[in-house]
């Protein structure tokens, strides 16, 4: 924007060997750090590569991305390294609505015109590595053809039309195969030292956010908060287990037995309140973290269609532009006639699995009755284990099916796609993991079976997860991939970057969140039956923090991470679960040993027990709603900061409008 | 903004006899319609009045309101009439974020710079009467002192300090007594003809919105929609009543009796579903109306402190300005130690009233048993009637108490004040109107008593309301006030306007909404007990539409009405009620005659019935949530229009920012 003709002459100084030139004098620097690697197709012709490099380096007002590009070893190689000059970064920071430290020490929404009043705005540390890499992705994916252009070295059917998204077209033409951010070895080493290789208890969340971005930052922050929040229920669980064991050893004392039985109730009521308070406190922590990470006031943007979206060309009623349109009713029809039946089919397979499990359970019981030995004792656990394995396999298959179904529904926006996919997976996950438990609890009303089942689920699932998630990739990485990827200090930088291509793509946080959600379900829905749940989860999560950190640092390519203000849809999923927990716990209470004994002794009728549970349910839901309303979602100071940011941006807007008016007057006068 | 020195010279043409001059040539017009009347205190000196008139007429950049003022009959009179020139109106339209018809025929957020592309933007009909009057209020109440000013004719303690709100200070100094919009006799006559004086079934809602503004528009639109939505439950209620009467006359047929009893269930399930669908459809209608009335995309503004707010001077952390601050914890303390106990006391008085009612009920029963006659028959209704009167009186007292309590809580913003007041009144209203009914239904489990009580409540409350709301003001207006206010065609205009001062202030829509809410409560919570509820409400509401319309047109001063996009907090109140309705209906079902008979015949145990009700409750709540989610809150076309508006305003913003950049470059070059 600030470039005029005489600036261009001074801007021809090199910015680093091999890099494209910057057009802006303030962005010239001696040394350029490669941030993003673009992997090209093998058959891409050199002229196409040159065209692409030139496009990346062209200023924005001429239709380019205003970034820096480097052709790798030579002009014929199949990689392009990309970096970004200062002005492009700062302009994108304003566009994204990121907040940065102002010279008053407060966070303010960044404004390019006011950049000199922001601390460190001239230095590299102003933006985190993750932010700089995301901005490059944002600029590349936002490239649009200004007019119809034939791309050198490509067939005619890939000619760009006006307003075509260039990066999408390049990807579908096979020119661009992959675009991913590069690891920074030195900073990664530093991060991993303070994160998981020592015995430290707290995670360096700010550094995680700076290196991996706020999406990843929020996941680890939540994992951290959740793990430490497990301490109170774990301690309670240990106490209850201790007292109930003491009670069962000395069953003569009437009072002790009463104490033991009421442990069930204490645990149930406690876990309901705990889950509510936990979610509220997390929201507070999340919002103050969002303030610190500068994502409290992100700009809303009009969403472009996602790459896979297709339809008939028509005028978009929102933008008034020609683009592919897909009628809403057709999408609804596809959902109603295809998606829902298929999802239903899978839910049916869950039920089928459940029936088989009962059949198996009966068989081993019968076997054990006839042939009482250690083997048959062990066999008692076989149906549970088999069923858990079946459940996990079904979940894996379903995940792919859900992906294709959502693809078939042809959503226009990426966010709609993600929401529908998440909803599908969540419904199935709830059903798959919890249907059996609910059936045992409320249809069979068999507390000992429920307890056994819960224990085996907790132990087996966690073992399986740790093995499949970490041990297998670790072994593959060390003994299969690594020998091909020996790396010495003397290798050229390009080769080290190129090596990152061989790492597998990071699979995203979806599976991690699902795992936490299922855990949280066991704990909040059923923990009163098996008080040691929280203890087992606590142990698992302390390990999980380390293994997840190791995984994301070492085993995968670095992922892009868009700035985020919270956990998004997962927050809602956890809240729904903590709501269902109230209902579940109230009904589990009616199965509590104490009430059952009172029923047998004739002190309470069945109706009384049920009415008591209803009353408890309604009262506790009201208490939950009130507690949730009384604890504000944001700490007072964050609320004020947010109001302040909104106020200043409103003021700035008004100022801009009046500035324009003044300018137009001045121009008219001249 | 567009005024330069040479413009001022041409602007001295008169805009109407006695009116202040406009500084902008495009706003000069022959005839000015007085829109708002400012009533001054009796002791206000002429120099103060002159100063105020001058202030109102001064352009905004010199610290005035840029409106038009007229001193009434002469300079010493105690009124000022205010109107607004075109440019002020259009600028405020942009500030408020109102939408207007673009030359494409679509509604677009109004932009002053682009005004020539909006249809009729040069004519008076561009803004509705209500909008023009609200803008005058908005400008007057937004007046702030630019520097310390001594006001002529006032004592020194009323000297304005920098940034003082002038209108608030003038009001507290007794200079300005009242500010209210003027009726336009001709248009009012036209409106009343098409609204309530004929036999028309539909209301002229667009004209109501144009004349009274969208707050009033939405109330009448809701009343209209609600009334016609009563048709299905009313028809069902009539059918059920007919069949049950036929059934009771021929009780020999077993099947008929079954049909009758199941009427109870049909009504319960129907009213649950009806209330959900009703609220969803209303939201859709409300949003399309909001589009038509141009309030879909209102600008958010930073709220100024309300007039009654006081505190110690300090720096507001949001704006960075010095203003009175009141610590949050002190407000919380006041709420916890004063508001909650007092509200509790009133709820206690409700319970006391209920106990007295039961005592009275027993007394008349005992009396009737001893002395069976027409008189004692009538006396049976006495406790109910007395209790209803007590209830209504308590509600009136409470309303004042709630007002003072909320005042004492010292909320900074008007919206917070209103929300706390509404919450207080709603809690009490629910308790006051429904506590007895819930007690009868669930503690006493006495369906006949519930039915009797509901019938008397419906009939008595409605009669009382119609009388106190319309008949009394009508009589007062016609026989007490009117003789002092005879008006002839020959009277000067000023006198006619002055006469409007004698009308009482419009009491607002709070009481009207409460009335509808209570009605809706009877219907959705208990209608299955008394199927004729909907019929009675339908009749009442058809009358209510007319009487409310008559009231607002004839009996009160015209109220100001801020542009609104929906019913606001009332929407939430109705939704909560329709949620409680599910719970209530499910438990009323357990009292249904059919189930009770099955219980007596031993077909079902008590536990079975309770379990059935629980199952029904949970299933119906899930169904309700799903239905609410499946019916989108906005019609598809409104969603698209809204997205389009957001998109264009985002584009406009981006364009402005780049325009500024270009301008600064141009200016630098010169």
Model pLDDT for residues A240-293, shown as the tens digit of each residue: 888 877 766 554 444 444 445 577 778 888 888 899 999 999 999 999 999 999
Strand partners, B149: B160
Answer whether B216's CB lies under 8 Å from B232's CB.
Answer: no
User: Tokens for A557?
Assistant: 């390519």
Percent of chain B with pLDDT over 70: 89
Residue A348 has a pLDDT of 93
**Residue ranges of E strands in A362-431:** none
Alpha carbon distances (Å) from A314 to A344, B169, B643? 35, 58, 17
Q: Write out the DSSP string of A326-343.
A: --HHHHHHHIIIIIHHHH
Query: How many CB atoms lie under 10 A from the CB of residue B252?
Result: 7
| pLDDT 10s digits, B530-576 | 888 899 899 889 888 888 898 888 888 899 988 898 888 899 899 98
Q: Residue for token digits 């690697």?
A: A37
Q: Quote ipTM for the complex.
A: 0.76
Kindly state the helix (H) or strand (E) to which residue A87 belongs, with its residue range: helix A86-96
Any CB–CB contact under 8 A between B630 and chain A? no
Measured CA distances, A157 to A145, A170, A172, B540, B591 (Å): 15, 12, 11, 70, 73
Q: Is A328 on the interface with B (CB under 8 A)?
A: yes
Put simply, the answer to whether B665 touches A317 (Cβ < 8 Å) is: no
Q: Which of B464, B619, B440, B621 is nearest to B530 (CA)?
A: B440
B602 burial type by CB count under 10 A (0-12 exposed, 13-18 middle, 19+ buried): exposed
CB contact under 8 A, B610 and A605: no
Of B302, B657, B659, the CB nearest to A650: B302
Q: What is the C-alpha to C-alpha distance for residues A109 and A100, in angstroms, rounded to an integer?
A: 6
Residue A264 confidence (pLDDT): 76
d(C-alpha A388, C-alpha A568), whole Å? 29
- C-beta separation of A497 from A182 below 8 A: yes
Is the pLDDT at B385 greater than 50? The verdict is yes
Question: Is the model's pLDDT at B230 over the cut of 70?
Answer: yes
Residue contact A660–B663, C-beta within 8 A: yes
Cβ proximity of A85 and A66 under 8 Å: yes
pLDDT, one tens digit per residue, over B36-83 is: 999 998 888 888 998 999 999 888 888 888 898 988 777 677 889 999
Q: What angle do CA B262, B268, B273 make, to 5 degrees?
A: 125
Tell me the β-bridge partners of A82: A36, A69
Collapse the DSSP code of B313 into the 3-class scheme (helix H, G, I; strand E, B; otherwise coil) and give the result: strand
pLDDT above 50 (res B174): yes
Residue B108: closest CA among chain A residues belongs to which residue?
A318
Q: What percent of chain A has pLDDT over 70?
A: 89
Annotate B181-199 with b (16+ C-beta within 10 A) or e (fewer).
bbbbeeebeebbeebbeee
* Ranges of each domain in chain B: 24-182, 194-296+320-326+412-634, 645-669
Distance (Å) from the C-alpha of residue A662 to the closest C-alpha of chain B?
A: 8
The pLDDT of residue A9 is: 36
Q: Which of B106, B111, B133 lies closest to B34 in space, CA to CA?
A: B133
Q: What HEC string does A230-272 produce?
A: CHHHHHHHHHHHHHHHHHHHCCCCHHHHHHHHHHHHHHHHHHH
CA-wise closest residue to B116 among B206, B23, B9, B26: B26
B423 alpha-carbon distance from chain centroid: 14
* Cα–Cα distance measured from residue B660 to residue B670, given in angstroms and rounded to the nearest whole number: 15
pLDDT at A487: 54
Where residue A321 falls among pLDDT bands split at 50, 70, 90? Answer: confident
Calculate how close chain A gets to B633, using CA atoms only, in Å: 16
- Whether A15 shows a pLDDT value over 80: the answer reads no
Most A-contacting residue of B115, B583, B631, B643 (CB-CB within 10 A), to test interface? B643
- Reported as a single tens digit per residue, the pLDDT across B436-454 is 888 888 888 888 888 888 8
Identify the pLDDT of residue A666. Answer: 58
Reduced to 3 states (helix: H, G, I; strand: E, B; else coil), residue A380 is coil
Single out the residue of A597, A524, A562 nearest to residue A258, CA to CA: A597
Q: Tokens standing for A447?
A: 């507390």
Query: Is the pLDDT reported for residue B8 higher than 50?
Result: no
What angle, 0 to 180 degrees and rounded to 10, lies between the N-to-C axes of helices A205-212 and A129-141? 30
Residue A606 scores a pLDDT above 90: no
* Residue A488 pLDDT exceeds 70: no
Rounded (10°) angle between helices A533-550 and A447-466? 10
> Would you give the distance in Å from CA A472 to the centre of its chain?
22
C-alpha span between B74 and B72 (Å, rounded): 6
Strand, coil or helix: what is B81? strand
pLDDT value of position B402: 94
Cβ A650–B614 below 8 Å, yes or no? no
Best mutation target, B301, B317, B605, B621, to test chain A (most A CBs within 10 A): B317
> Which of B607, B636, B660 shows the shortest C-beta gap to A660?
B660
Query: Is the separation of the CB atoms in A136 and A35 below 8 Å?
Result: yes
Strands lying side by side in the sheet with A176-181: A68-70, A79-83, A36-40, A176-181
Confidence band, pLDDT 50/70/90 cuts, at residue A131: very high
Evaluate if residue A72 carries a pLDDT over 70. yes
- Residue A428 phi/psi, 5-degree rounding, is -65, -45
Map tokens 């031993």 to a residue.
B602
B301 touches chain A (CB under 8 A): yes
pLDDT at A217 over 90: yes
Average pLDDT over residues A600-610: 77
More confident position, B142 or A1: B142
Q: How many residues does chain A have?
A: 670
Helices within A505-635 (DSSP H only): 510-526, 533-550, 569-590, 593-600, 606-630
pLDDT of residue A658: 59
What string of DSSP letters covers B382-407?
A: HHHHHHHHHHHHHHHHHHHHHHHHHH
Cα gap B174→B171, rounded to integer Å: 5
Q: Between β-strands B36-40 and A322-325, what pairing exists: parallel, antiparallel or unpaired? A: unpaired
Cα–Cα distance, A562 to B637 (Å, whole number)? 31
Do residue B663 and residue A663 have CB atoms under 8 angstroms apart? Answer: yes
Residues B647, B37: Cα–Cα separation, whole Å = 40
Chain A, nearest residue to B654 by Cα: A95
For the record, the structure tokens of A350 come out as 């869950």
Here the tokens at position B123 are: 């004519």
pLDDT band with cut points at 50, 70 and 90 for residue B664: low
Asked if B9 reaches chain A (Cβ–Cβ under 8 Å), the answer is: no
- Count Cα atoms within 13 angstroms, Cβ side, for B267: 32
Q: What is the dihedral of CA A389, A394, A400, A406, to 10 degrees?
A: -140
Using alpha carbons only, what angle is made at residue A441 by residues A435 and A446, rounded to the nearest 5 degrees? 130
More confident site: A657 or B634: B634
pLDDT for A293 equals 93
Q: Cα separations (Å) of B149 from B20, B59, B146, B156, B162?
A: 22, 17, 8, 10, 8
Asked if residue A210 has pLDDT above 90, the reply is yes
Query: Is B647 touching A (CB cutoff 8 A)?
Result: yes
Contact A423, A335 (CB under 8 A): no
Name A429's Cβ contacts closer than 8 Å, sequence gap at least 6. Answer: A395, A514, A517, A518
**Is any Cβ of chain A less than 8 angstroms from the Cβ of B105?**
no
Q: What's the pLDDT band for A192 if we cut at 50, 70, 90? A: confident
- Partner residue facing B640 (CB), from A113, A318, A640: A318
Lookup result for tokens 């919570």: B525
Task: Assign A149 to helix, strand or coil.
Answer: strand
Chain B residues whose CB is inside 8 A of the A670 CB are 670
Tokens 């916890």 -> residue: B336
Mean per-residue pLDDT of chain A = 83
Alpha helices in A439-561 (DSSP H): 447-466, 472-475, 493-499, 510-526, 533-550
């Amino acid at each position: 924007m600030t470039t005029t003709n005489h600036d261009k002459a001074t801007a021809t100084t090199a910015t680093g060997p091999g890099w494209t030139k910057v057009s802006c004098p303030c962005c010239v620097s001696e040394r350029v750090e490669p941030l993003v690697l673009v992997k090209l197709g093998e058959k891409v012709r050199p002229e196409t590569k040159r065209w692409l490099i030139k496009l990346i380096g062209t200023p924005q007002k001429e239709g380019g991305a205003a970034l820096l590009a480097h052709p790798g070893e030579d002009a014929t190689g199949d990689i392009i390294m990309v970096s970004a000059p200062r002005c492009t970064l700062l302009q994108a920071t304003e566009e994204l609505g990121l907040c940065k430290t102002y010279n008053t020490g407060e966070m303010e929404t960044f404004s390019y015109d006011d950049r000199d009043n922001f601390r460190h705005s001239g230095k590299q540390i102003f933006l985190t590595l993750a932010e700089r890499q995301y901005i490059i992705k944002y600029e590349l994916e936002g490239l649009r053809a200004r007019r119809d252009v034939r791309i050198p070295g490509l067939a005619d059917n890939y000619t760009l039309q006006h307003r075509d998204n260039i990066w999408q077209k390049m990807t579908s033409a096979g020119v661009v195969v992959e675009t991913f951010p590069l690891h920074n070895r030195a900073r990664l080493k530093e991060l991993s030292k303070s994160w998981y290789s020592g015995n430290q208890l707290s995670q360096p969340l700010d550094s995680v956010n700076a290196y991996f971005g706020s999406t990843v930052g929020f996941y680890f922050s939540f994992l951290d908060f959740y793990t430490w929040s497990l301490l109170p229920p774990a301690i309670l669980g240990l106490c209850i287990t201790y007292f109930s064991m003491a009670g069962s050893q000395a069953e003569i004392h009437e009072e002790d037995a009463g104490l033991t039985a009421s442990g069930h109730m204490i645990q149930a009521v406690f876990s309901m309140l705990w889950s509510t308070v936990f979610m509220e406190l997390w929201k507070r922590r999340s919002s103050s973290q969002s303030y610190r990470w500068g994502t409290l006031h992100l700009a809303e943007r009009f969403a472009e269609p996602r790459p896979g979206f297709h339809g008939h060309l028509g005028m978009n009623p929102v933008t008034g532009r020609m683009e592919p349109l897909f009628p809403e009713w057709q999408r609804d029809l596809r959902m109603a006639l295809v998606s829902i039946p298929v999802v239903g089919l899978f839910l049916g397979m869950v039920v089928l699995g459940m029936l088989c499990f009962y059949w198996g359970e009966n068989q081993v019981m019968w076997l054990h009755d006839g042939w009482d030995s250690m083997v048959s004792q062990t066999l008692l656990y076989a149906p549970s284990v088999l069923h858990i394995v079946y459940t996990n396999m079904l979940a894996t298959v379903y995940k792919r099916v859900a992906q294709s179904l959502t693809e078939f529904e042809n959503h226009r926006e990426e966010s709609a796609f993600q929401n529908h996919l998440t909803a599908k997976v969540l419904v199935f996950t709830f059903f798959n993991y919890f249907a059996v438990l609910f059936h045992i609890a409320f249809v069979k009303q068999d507390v000992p079976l429920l307890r056994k089942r819960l224990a085996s689920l907790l132990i087996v699932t966690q073992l399986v997860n740790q093995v499949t998630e970490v041990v297998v990739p670790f072994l593959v990485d060390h003994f299969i991939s690594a020998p091909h990827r020996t790396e010495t200090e003397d290798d050229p930088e390009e080769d080290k970057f190129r090596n990152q291509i061989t790492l597998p793509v990071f699979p995203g946080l979806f599976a991690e969140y699902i795992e936490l959600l299922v855990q949280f379900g066991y704990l909040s829905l059923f923990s009163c039956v098996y008080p040691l749940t929280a203890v087992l989860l606590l142990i698992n999560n302390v390990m999980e923090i380390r293994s997840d950190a190791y995984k994301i640092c070492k085993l995968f390519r670095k992922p892009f991470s868009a700035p985020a203000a919270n956990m998004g849809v997962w927050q809602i999923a956890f809240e729904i679960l903590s709501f269902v927990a109230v209902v579940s716990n109230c009904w589990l209470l009616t199965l509590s040993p104490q009430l059952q004994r009172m029923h047998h002794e004739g002190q309470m009728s069945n109706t009384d027990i049920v009415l008591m549970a209803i009353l408890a349910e309604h009262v506790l839901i009201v208490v939950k709603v009130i507690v949730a309303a009384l604890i504000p979602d944001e700490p007072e100071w964050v609320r004020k900061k947010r109001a302040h940011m909104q106020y200043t941006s409103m003021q700035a807007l008004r100022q801009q409008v009046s500035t324009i008016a003044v300018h137009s007057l001045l121009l008219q006068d001249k």
